[in-house]
Structure 1
Amino acid sequence: MADQFDSALDLLRRLNPKNTAANLSAICSLVPEHEEELLASVDQPLEVRRCKKTGRDYLLCDYNRDGDSYRSPWSNEFDPPVDDAEMSSERVRRLEVRANEAFDVYRELYYEGGTSSVYLWNLDDGFAGVVLLKKSSSQTAASGAWDSIHVLEVAERGRTAKYKLTSTVILNLGTKGDALGSLDLAGNMTRQVESDMPVDADETHVANVGKLVEDMELKMRNLLREHLLHVNTKRTVTNASQTEEVYFGKAKDVVGDLRSIPPLSEANRERAAQREMINSMGR
């Protein structure tokens, strides 16, 4: 049974990340006994649903799911309703409300649109949660989607707290045109950080988590920008932990080949000289 689960994860790592949701659904239908484990282990692009009570959009993930129902962070209700759903304490729910308000502002400032959701739940020595951000765009010639999944654990120790943040970014880019043809680029990146920070009141947790998420997203955006814009000669992937190099590394090679730093006439002269040298060696 463990071999089936490991094989399923290995297969998902090798398939196109753009189709992760469809591939995951197909694999779960083949091995339904591992469905819960797979849904909890595999990050996939976030889906958007409208809260029936408040009319606001929220994001779906495994952390606000109970069976086939999902909880809205705005109304704190499941859709469809769940009679025996496990809910967080009043204190953690108050923190969740403040965090959703804060990240709604963060989303508007950084993404200028999109959707955000924050879900928190109780732990024995603190609380845990997930911060979700999604921005997508679909046009005639280009499309793209950015999904951020920040899973956090907070261990409270009096006037300090230990924060552990695991962040995953899923990026999908596509373009289509008569001149350039079509380009389909997809991949994901995961990073982790731990930090001890002072806590004066419950509201401090929201500020601390916000700072950690903001810093992590900045670092990951810069890393993705470097992946996409700079030439990388690394073409061989030796293990699954380097999956992002398959997709982003190839894009860097393409950009590097298309980008000509010296003048075109100088490049042509160098090619002619190289051909002349090869011909003379053959003679």
Structure 2
Amino acid sequence: MKQSPASFNDFEAFLNKFIDKTISFLPNLIGAIILFVVGIWVCRIIRKFVKRIMISRSVDTTIQNFVNELLRWILYIILFLTVIQKIGVPVSSFLGALAAAGVAVGLALQGSLSNFAGGIMLLILKPFRIGDSIETKGHIGNVERIGMFYTTIIKFGNEQVMIPNGPLFSDNIVNYSRTKKRRDKIIVGIGYGSDLKKAKEILYTLAKECPTALQDPIPIVYVEELADSSVNLSLRVWSNTENYWDTHFYLVEQMKLSFDKENIEIPFPQTDVHIIPN
């Protein structure tokens, strides 16, 4: 079909208008790209500057990480709004649309907002710090990172666990690193026919000779329980927090070796079967 002159003129006019718009828009686009690249660089400079100030003033590492992450989001949002304004998008209209969508987004992200609020409360109340050994939500490990939404824990088997800040803050938290000293309670059972006084003397001697056990407060040995098949002794011994597990494992091993050497029985579950002939 032969194209009419009117249709060709309309297409030519549209093409010329498109080219004119593109040429007029091109400086803004180039400027926006340059602004974006420079803005990313400036954001990094600001974050590094703020971090240096916090380090020079000995601000807690937990607060440093949290402020750094929060500052990153704020700076990137400001940069984004500046770039779209440079392109020609009215910021006021964009913010209005963003506010209208914010209600729906807020309802959809209630969990994330709860985690953010939990992170703020963890930052304010400081139930633990980075490097602390804690127990929470069924996990025990060292705190590696406290973020805006999640706290990262490295378990003793080197497994990484990320726990949402909201449930974490509302749960029970046991901090094993907050105090300088910890008291261990080691239970060991001996047979009813074994020498009770000798067993207690052995435990006192082990606690005294343990290189990482503290002697102030002094170690104490109690008769914990007269159980069904054993007399359970309880050794209470103090150590510095960083030496807690070394002290525990040393004493448990030495108990077994010393009791074997002194012929003190450590009972174990066993079943006697009596066969009654017909």
Which interval holds the TM-score relative to the shorter structure?
under 0.3
TM (norm. structure 2) is 0.24
The structure having more radius of gyration, on CA atoms, is 2
Higher normalized contact order (CA 8 Å, seq sep 6+, divided by chain length): 2
**More helix per residue: 1 or 2?**
2
TM (norm. structure 1) is 0.24
**More strand per residue: 1 or 2?**
1
